[in-house]
Every structure is written in structure tokens, then in C-alpha cells.
Structure 1
Amino acid sequence: MIAIIRIRGSTGIKPSAEKTAELLNLNRINHMVIFPESESLNGMLNRVKDYVTWGEIDEETLELVLKDRVLLQGHKKLTDDYLKESGYSSISELANKLAEGTLKFKDLPDVNPVIRLNPPKGGYEAIQKPFHQKGSAGYRGSEINKLIRRMIIPGVNLNGENKN
């Protein structure tokens, strides 16, 4: 599974890159989508490489994202009742199916395809430089998991309110 996060806004973006970001459902900064790896996805990522960062998400980080950030239609949290209706016993089982590739994220009914994240704790590196030049844009590989964990701040919801 590939996690893609938008790191730059739409000011000054090329029209072809803006359309590709729209097709990927990446309309705002700090939004993330999860896709299975494919050739067509690689072509799309090549077109928006200056505006997004991506890499392979591991099962532990995927489980954390499912627990804390995935929302159902109507801005409701992913609950055990929903999982039982869908045929899964726990979030870890769902994360396992997604990580194996036997289930696609978009095939989950009533789940919003876009995952909203907080800005990363400590900020981004240079957003206009590629990752291999100590920047933030482009392919990161497994380092995407560290970025996602920095963007899921425990105890804070998306409105900035403290849960504790």
C-alpha cells in the first residue's frame, strides 16, 4: 500500500499537476490517501512529485491511522459496530487485509477516501526540495511512516481540541 500526502498548496501549481492531485483526492495540504501500488499510480505520482510525498505504509502505522484518523460518512469515527457489520473482528484485522492487498481502501463502504492529518510535529523539511536532498517532496520509501506518526498527534483531534 502506498500512502500519499499533499505537502504544498495550489498557488502556482501546473494545471496538469492540479488535475492529477484532484484525481487523487488530494485537494488540501496535509490530506492523505492510500492506494495499492500500480503502474498508473506511478505515472500520476511522477506528475505531482513536487507537491506530494509518498511511500510504503506499514501495517502498524496503518492500524494507527485507522484508529485515530479514518472517518465514516457524516464525520463519525470508525467503530467496532461498523467493523462487525463489514465482517471484520478488529481494526488490526482490517489493517492486515489492507496491508496484504486483499482489500482496497476504496472498497470499504461509507469510509471517506481522504484522511485528514495535523501538520507534522516539528514541521516539514524544505517543501520545495526532494526528499533525497533533505527536503520533503517526492518518494520517501518506508520513511513515510515516521512522517505519518508525527502527523498523528496523540490527544488532539482535528479541531485542535484536547481529548484528554
Structure 2
Amino acid sequence: MRTQKTSNKPKISTRPFYQWKETDDGRYQAWFAVPGLVAEPVRENGKVRLFDTPHAAEFAALKAIYKILTARSVKTSKPDKVRRMTSGEFAAALSEADITATHFAELYGAQVARVLKWIDGVEDIPHAAHVFVRLMARQENYEEALQVTRRAQQQAKEAQNGSADA
């Protein structure tokens, strides 16, 4: 998997994920995630919803994943000459490229919050991001992007150190 080492931050999912967990009172929680997001329980009115059976919990988690992957994007730009990638397509492309939303943001040069908005369907996905995520599926493209990014990061660090010394 192509991820950056992180500290004790919650693990970002690279694949669709769902499961149920039994609680102390014998009921069940439904947990889910899609690529780019951290696993979370199914909620209703802001509270974690509990289910009477594992089957009901699992079904609720699958419904939550379906809702995210089929969310419609909010149009934030002018009419396009190309079809925009949907949030579900983008999440699937990240998974196919085996790259997290955080690492994609680093390589692409975008804020992580912006990439998560694309996954959530809150903002349109730029065509350039569509092209970039497809290119990242090829190992040689990923390695080149990683090298370019590392060089740029090193140059920025050196420039900061140079200005701090002056």
C-alpha cells in the first residue's frame, strides 16, 4: 500500500469497509468507511445507532456506504466541456491506485480537507484530479510523482532554512 507513515492519527480507509460490533448490552453497532475516510459508526440524529441483530447492523453499514458512494456532487463551477468524475468514482479510483486521500493530497498539492470534500460529494472534482488519480494507478507514474514531490519538499525546506539563517 502506498501510504505515508503517520503518528497515532485514526487510520484512513483505502477500501470500502463495513462490520458490526457487539456492545456490552448484547446489541450491535454498525461500522463503515469508504476510501479516504476513517471508519465510523452509523449514527441517527447524531447518536450512535444500536441494532438488535448483527444482520441489521451489517445492512445499516452497507446502506451508509451506498449513500456516500452515490452522493451527488454540488456544482461549484461553470459548465464543463468534460464529464466530471463523481465522488464514488473518485473514491474507487483512489482505492484502485492504492493511495490514501491524504497521500493523494500531498502528491497533487491540494489540502486534505479539499480532497475529502471531493470524496464526500461536497465539491466538484477537478478534471486535473481525475487525470492525476488515474495516472497514479501506474506504478511508474506514482514513483515519478513521489520523486518530484520529495524534491519540491526538500527545496522548500532548504529555502526556509536559508531564509532563517539570513
- State the TM-score, normalizing by the size of structure 1: 0.25
Structure whose alpha-carbon radius of gyration is higher: 2
- RCO greater where, 1 or 2, for CA within 8 Å and sep 6 or more? 1
The answer to which structure has the higher strand fraction is 1
The answer to which structure has the higher helix fraction is 2
